[in-house]
Amino acid sequence: MAKKQFKAESKRLLDLMIHSIYTHQEIFLREIISNASDAMDKLAYTALTDDKVSVNREELKITLTRNESDGVLTVSDRGIGMTKEELEENLGTICKSGSLGFKQNMEQTEDIDIIGQFGVGFYAAFMVSDNVTVISKKYGEDTAWKWTSNGGDGYTVTEAQRAYPGTDIIMTLKKDTEDEQYSRFLKEWELRSLVKKYSDYIRYPICMQVQKSRRKEGSSDEHPEYESYTEMETLNSMVPIWQRNKKDVTAEEYNTFYREKFMDYSEPARVISFSAEGNVSFKALLYIPSKAPFDYYSKDYKRGLQLYSSGVMIMDACEDLLPEHFSFVRGVVDSQDLSLNISRELLQHDRQLKIIARGIEKKIKAELTAMLENDREKYCDFFAAFGRQLKYGAVAQYGAHKDATQDLLLFYSNREQKLITLKEYIDSMAEGQEKIYYLAGESVDRLSKMPQVRTLKDRGYDVLLLTDEVDEFVPQTLMTYSEKSFCNAATEDLGLQTEEEKEKLKEQTEKKQSLLTFVKDSLGDDVTQVRLVTNATSAPVCLVPASGMSFEMEKYMKRMNPEFNMPAMRILELNPEHPAVQALEVAVATDAQKAKDYVTLLYNQALLLADLPISDPAAYTELVCKFMK
Ligand code: ADP
Ligand code: MG
């Protein structure tokens, strides 16, 4: 019988797995057991939706069989089984459901613990086996099939016998070496502890014949005699962790469940376990991760909670249970009230799901708020990982979800030199301050040196320094917070001038008209307007955008789309108190060429201060040198 080859990438992975030394080889059992459990889930689910299929739940179990003399370990299930085609398709191709990220990641770092991170599943069996044989009979079919492979060079499929639908995974373990005792995977205690460690929450019994000892019947109390016997025992506790009483579950158990279920090495930042009664009753076990998965901010990331109904997994990632702004939450929801006889598509629109989703959103918000209030340091770590998602949430759909998100946002406070909430900003506003001031730009360091910051600081006003790309959209979308409006200190009137000051500015402008006209004429279309500073500043000049778009927004748009061709219009402001501007005024009256040079110098300085490129750096440098002679 001709051997078929594994698909190319499968072969590479096999090599990688077999020839690298894993400290976690034992996880092969977890993978094989979880596949068996999945197969029974599928059968149970099919039975719920298809009248022709019926299942006796008693029969749904996983059996481990040890054959120590032959060195063979068998894992059998009464699941849905596989057809010949499915055997080839599922076991001949790597990571059928495995993540795409896996392959990408493998290219970069071959020594990474692939299995732990991605759960490559079935192939893990080859880490400990010389040969793996799979005998499977699909539910509803008459023929069983045998798939067999030694991992290295392909596999064969032949017809076989099997009494019931289901699958046997028959592993001929490798011979012991100095480094690895493969034979330990045939020891009762070892298997027992591996099941406990990795597969305790599998909802089907995992059974094994175990050695027991009892007192011989008829032996006397003085001279008790014992005999050993074997008995089928269920090794796992089965009851899902979320169904257990909260006070009986340790933090460690919650964390272990999280790490294994969601393939995360780090402890979750927060565990939320709650149940709701009412129109729809449900239990939920939710986790707020402490680190963002590598693909979190990419399209590959799948949001959603795992949905169970009466112990049957219905959906792996039910999106409708989790709003986009909380998409980082992982977890499980279990409700016996969901109508199971409807198809998955219909289920998504189920009114009951909406009720559950609302409960979950509320709960997550409450938990995050509690973390914000009681454990600020942890919250800041959380925010570093997922804050951007919350900000996206605040601006999405024109702020439709701002109620759920705005109180959870943190921005950098110039006064406090740390992240604060909008509420904290409002609570510490100075006497008479009416607006929430913010500046958006590349770095806190740069922003804090902007002249507007100084102006506001002199008044005792704080400024939020926004440095994330999405940041500037937040005030623009929210517009107000707690009835205070946002003010972009770079583009908008700071609203600090009194009527008197405004009057004075008008007078001054009239007096300096010839200066302003000269500067505007010299600069031509580079600026739309030249005027005297409207806000006190210590710099001689200041460039402000004329339209609603700030320079930062302009830069952002350019980065998003290099074709972007609607730059913010520039207004040049002159500070008449500054000696440099006064020198310019003198030059305008006496030496037109010198005055032109001064204008060029000052305009370029304004560009530099605004962190905008100057059009001819060489000419600018020359000009500076000219005046140093
Ligand atoms: P995953 O479980 O992530 O899909 P695996 O490599 O563990 O990846 O398994 C590949 C596929 O092989 C499964 O998706 C399933 O279709 C099939 N499979 C594996 N073991 C069994 C089994 N015991 N019964 C039925 N199908 C199985
Ligand atoms: Mg699997």
> Among 96, 99, 157, 169, which residue has the most ligand 1 atoms within 8 Å of its CB, making it the best to mutate?
96
In degrees and rounded to multiples of 5, residue 5 shows phi and psi of -90, 145
Residue 401 domain-assigned (yes or no): no
The rounded Å distance from CA 122 to ligand 2 centre is 6
At 367 the three-state DSSP class reads: helix
Three-state DSSP at 51 gives: coil
CATH number where 265 lies:
3.30.230.80
> Would residue 223 count as lying in a domain?
yes
Pocket test of ligand 1: the residue of 17, 35, 133, 146 to mutate, having most ligand atoms within 8 Å of its CB, is 35
- Indicate whether 562 and 621 sit together in one domain: yes
What is the per-residue pLDDT for 5? 75
Q: Say how many Å lie between the CA of residue 94 and the centre of ligand 2.
A: 11
pLDDT in tens, 44-57: 888 877 888 788 88
- Whether residue 132 is contained in a domain is answered as yes
Q: Tell whether 170 and 73 lie within a shared domain.
A: yes
Spatial distance between the Cα atoms of 524 and 533, rounded to a whole number of angstroms: 19
d(CA 172, CA 331): 36
Q: Please, which residues bridge with residue 173 across strands? A: 129
567 located within any domain:
yes
- Does residue 176 share a domain with residue 32? yes
Nearest to 437 by CA among 409, 415, 404, 470: 415
- 341 falls within a domain: yes
Going by the DSSP 8-state scheme, the letter that residue 42 receives in this structure is H
Question: Of all protein residues, whose CA lies closest to atom 10 belonging to ligand 1?
Answer: 90
The verdict on 430 and 531 lying in the same domain is no
Q: Tell me which residue has tokens 């509690």.
A: 370
For residue 338, the model assigns a pLDDT of: 72
CA 119 to ligand 1: nearest atom: 3
Q: How far is CA 479 from CA 394, 402, 404, 484, in A?
A: 11, 11, 16, 8
Pocket of ligand 1 (CB under 6 A): 31, 35-36, 38-39, 77, 79-82, 90-91, 96-98, 121-122, 167
Same domain, 354 and 416: no
Residue 44 CA to residue 53 CA, distance in Å, equals 9
Give the mutation target among 42, 85, 90, 155 for probing the ligand 1 site: most ligand atoms within 8 A of CB: 90
Q: What pLDDT, on the 0 to 100 scale, is given for residue 20?
A: 56
Query: Do 445 and 504 have their domain in common?
Result: no
- What CATH number did the domain enclosing 42 receive? 3.30.565.10
Tokens 């698909």 appear where?
7
Distance CA 114, CA 106 (A): 8
pLDDT tens, residue by residue, 134-146:
999 999 999 999 9
First-last CA distance in the chain: 92
Q: Are 149 and 276 members of one domain?
A: no
Task: Locate 41 and state its tokens.
Answer: 């889930």
Q: How far apart are CA 305 and CA 282, in angstroms?
A: 13
Ligand 1 centroid to Cα of residue 122, in Å, is 6
Please give the tally of structural domains in the chain.
4
Query: Is residue 45 situated within a structural domain?
Result: yes
- Is 389 among the domain residues? no
Measured at the CA of 103, the angle between CA 97 and CA 108, to 5 degrees, comes to 155
Residue type, 413: S
Residue owning tokens 């000051």: 501
| 484-488 and 435-440 beta bridge pairing | parallel
Cα 136 from Cα 165, distance rounded (Å)? 7
Give distance in angstroms: CA of 282 to centre of ligand 2: 27
The burial class, CB within 10 Å (0-12 / 13-18 / 19+), for 38 is middle
**Same-domain status, 246 and 194:** no
Distance CA 189, CA 167 (A): 24
Residues 198, 285 within the same domain: no
What CA–CA distance (Å, rounded) separates 330 from 322? 9
List, for residues 444-457, the tens digit of each pLDDT value: 998 898 878 888 99
Q: Smallest Cα–Cα separation from 13: which of 78, 135, 110?
A: 110
The CATH number linked to 457 is 3.40.50.11260
Please give the model's pTM, rounded to 2 decimal places.
0.61
DSSP 481-543: ETTEEEEETTTS--S---HHHHHHHHHHHHHTHHHHHHHHHHHGGG-SEEEE-SS--SSSEEE
Distance of CA 185 to the CA centre of its chain: 36
Residue 119 CA, chain-centre distance (Å), reads 18
**598, HSE (Cβ side, Cα atoms, 13 Å):** 23
pLDDT one-digit tens code per residue, 292-312:
988 898 888 999 998 887 656
> Are the C-beta atoms of residues 354 and 373 closer than 8 Å to each other?
no
- Beta strands 570-574 and 541-545 are antiparallel
Instruction: Write out the DSSP string of 418-461.
Output: EEE-HHHHHHTPPTT--EEEEEE-S-HHHHHTSHHHHHHHHTT-
Q: The domain that contains 505 carries what CATH number?
A: 1.20.120.790
Q: What are phi and psi of 178, to 5 degrees?
A: -60, -35
The residue count for the chain: 629
Structural domain containing residue 553: 499-628
305 burial type by CB count under 10 A (0-12 exposed, 13-18 middle, 19+ buried):
buried
Residue 264, classed as helix, strand or coil, is coil
Is 85 a member of any domain?
A: yes
- The token duo for 99 is 């993540």
The answer to whether residues 552 and 451 belong to one domain is no
Q: How far is CA 274 from CA 360, 374, 385, 391, in A?
A: 9, 20, 24, 26
* 311 DSSP 8-state letter: T
Question: Which stretches of the chain drop beneath a pLDDT of 70?
Answer: 1-2, 7-23, 93-120, 153, 310-314, 339-349, 535-536, 547-548
What is the Cα–Cα distance from 233 to 261, expressed in whole angstroms?
A: 25
For residue 451, which of 547, 573, 536, 575 has the smallest C-alpha distance? 536
CA 303 to chain centre: 8
At which of 172, 206, 234 does a domain end?
Answer: 234
Parallel, antiparallel or unpaired: strands 62-67 and 72-77:
antiparallel
Element spanning 156, H or E: strand 155-160
Tokens linked to 313: 């997994």
Specify the pLDDT at position 179. 84
Contact 409, 387 (CB under 8 A): yes
CA 552 to ligand 1 center in whole angstroms:
50
Domain check: are 516 and 606 in the same one? yes
d(CA 626, CA 9): 66
* Rounded-to-integer distance, Cα 304 and Cα 401, Å: 18
**Is residue 229 located within the same domain as residue 245?**
no
Cβ proximity of 147 and 154 under 8 Å: no
Nearest-10 crossing angle of helices 592-609, 579-590: 150
H or E stretch covering 475? helix 473-478
Residues with CB under 5 A from ligand 2 (ion): 35, 121
| CA of residue 62 to ligand 2 center, whole Å | 15
Closest CA to 263 of 330, 312, 216: 330
Instruction: Please answer whether residues 292 and 328 qualify as being in contact, where contact means their C-beta atoms are separated by less than 8 angstroms.
Output: yes
Residue 557: which of 490, 469, 626 has the closest Cα? 469
Question: Given 234, 256, 279, which residue is the final one in a domain?
Answer: 234
Domain-ending residue, one of 208, 234, 260: 234
